[in-house]
Amino acid sequence: MNTERRDGTAVSADAHLEAILYDWECRQFLRRQLGDVRFYKRHAQGRVLELACGTGRVTEALLDAGHPVTALDVHSGMLAQARKRLGERASLVEADMRQFELASQFDTVVIAYNSFQLLHSLSDQEACLRRIREHLVPGGRLLFEVTPFLLRDPPSDWSHRATAHLHADPTIAGDGTVVSAWERCRTRPSAQLNHFDVRYELFGTDGTRLELHHTLTLRTIFRFELELLLTACGFAVERIDGDYDGTPLEACEDEGMVVSARTT
């Protein structure tokens, strides 16, 4: 596997643990995630670039389907986990999805699991889409999803999400470690932002306890806003569905938007 890094620093223990907890959350909440893998496998064509690849959950499925995949993420801990998962099968790139520049073009670009919503401003979204367009072949396809968190998730106090075994890397947390996750939501409607504060409590078999706090901020983008943005950045929308199985958006508006677009 070819891994490009912006510097030679080692992955921190915190970054490593965040990536392990991300995988743990993926295992706990599979309803959307099993569907998204099927969707991207069904619609991806040819050479694939995956942005915000995380630990390689979707990357692995695309490789299994026979696609050459380049996977990009800005988080060094996520890429370290992806490297363990994928071995030499994919090319991993550590870079910002607003600023990347690769020597290749691709037939398909994938942004899974609401990761486009990690871009919090119009200028960031435009920068990302213009970089994508530069890296797609003529008529190349962009596949991604967004969820209307601002409409779906009102402000809330701390609530329990899940408690389960971690099954983590023993060098970080030890075999048999149990994780309990708690979450609250804060909203900024004027900026179309939801802030999800997450608290993880890790309990080791030796009686140790570790607590980690993390905030995930996601920007809601609405349908017509999205269509205008894609058009301005050189894409034609093929379809916007309400779920991974092609259900019309009007039939499940609170689920999100699953988007297929092509370069013009």
Name residue 50's beta-bridge partners. 71, 110
Q: How far is CA 131 from CA 128, 134, 176, in A?
A: 5, 5, 43
Q: Which backbone phi and psi does 231 adopt, to 5 degrees?
A: -60, -45
Q: What is the mean pLDDT of residues 196-222?
A: 93
pLDDT of residue 255: 77
Q: For residues 109 and 49, is the Cβ–Cβ distance under 8 A? A: yes
pLDDT tens-place string over residues 237-264: 999 999 999 999 999 877 799 999 999 9
Helix axes 57-64, 31-43, angle to 10 degrees: 40
pLDDT tens digit string along 46-82? 999 999 999 999 999 999 999 999 999 999 999 999 9
What pLDDT sits at residue 84?
A: 93
**Residue 114 CA, distance from chain mean position:** 6
In this prediction, residues 13-25 reach a mean pLDDT of 84
Alpha-helix runs per DSSP H in the chain = 13-28, 31-43, 57-64, 76-86, 122-135, 149-152, 223-232
Three-state DSSP state, 24? helix
Q: Tell me what the mean pLDDT of segment 148-177 comes to.
A: 81
- Separation in Å, CA 6 to CA 51, 83, 143, 232: 16, 16, 27, 31
**Based on C-alpha coordinates, what's the Rg of the chain?**
18
- Mean pLDDT (the chain, rounded): 90
Q: pLDDT at position 16, please?
A: 84
| Cα(139)–Cα(125) distance, integer angstroms | 20
Q: 90-125 b/e with 16+ CB inside 10 Å = b? A: bbbbbbbbbebebeeebbbbbbbbbbbbbbeeeebb
Residue pLDDT, tens place only, 86-129: 999 999 999 999 999 999 999 999 999 999 999 999 999 999 99
Residues 176-204, mean pLDDT to the nearest whole number: 95
Structure token digits, residue 226: 């999205």
pLDDT band at 186 (very low <50, low <70, confident <90, very high): very high
Question: What does the longest C-alpha to C-alpha distance in the chain come to?
Answer: 59
Residue 181 pLDDT > 60, yes or no? Answer: yes
Percent of the chain with pLDDT over 90: 76
Determine if the pTM surpasses 0.85: yes
